[in-house]
Amino acid sequence: SQQGEEDPQALSIQEGENATMNCSYKTSINNLQWYRQNSGRGLVHLILIRSNEREKHSGRLRVTLDTSKKSSSLLITASRAADTASYFCATGGSGNTPLVFGKGTRLSVIA
């Protein structure tokens, strides 16, 4: 079963535009992580935000977390064609429970 649910399912933008993806989840978490997956490849970790953090930055990535709304967003600024991939959020629960992934957002950046 998947806890996180990304929105939108698919997103198509022009190069240089910003891309925003959202993730909602149901139960309390210890942390929330975002991963990228290029077609036919494994997932690559992008960023981890802990439940006591509200915002985190890494290069062109900005992640926010609102635990009261049980939601997170991933913003990619000044997108590039190379950002074309599927993006997944994954929630890490309290206790020693493994990450639960959402269904992902498919991002297409058109040059």
Partner 1 sequence: GAGVSQSPRYKVAKRGQDVALRCDPISGHVSLFWYQQALGQGPEFLTYFQNEAQLDKSGLPSDRFFAERPEGSVSTLKIQRTQQEDSAVYLCASSLGSLANEKLFFGSGTQLSVL
Question: Which chain residues interact with partner 1 by CB under 8 A?
Answer: 1-2, 4, 30-31, 33, 35, 40-45, 48, 88, 92-93, 96-104
Closer to partner 1 by CB, 18 or 94: give it.
94
CB of 69 to partner 1, least distance (A): 21
The two three-digit tokens of residue 42, written as one number: 């494994």
> Residue 27's closest CA among 88, 81, 95?
95
Least gap, CB of 106 to partner 1 (angstroms): 9
**Residue 88: HSE in the Cβ half-sphere, 13 Å Cα cutoff:** 17
Nearest-approach distance from CB 7 to partner 1, in angstroms: 13
CB 107 within 8 A of CB 87: yes
Closer Cβ to partner 1, 4 or 109, answer by number = 4
Give me the least distance between CB of 28 and partner 1, in Å please. Answer: 12
Task: Give 70 or 88: the residue with its C-beta nearer to partner 1.
Answer: 88
Among residues 13, 44, 51, 35, the alpha carbon closest in space to that of 88 is found at 35
Q: What is the DSSP letter of 99?
A: P
In the bound state with partner 1, the residue whose beta carbon lies nearer, of 21 and 102, is 102
Name the DSSP letter for residue 39: T
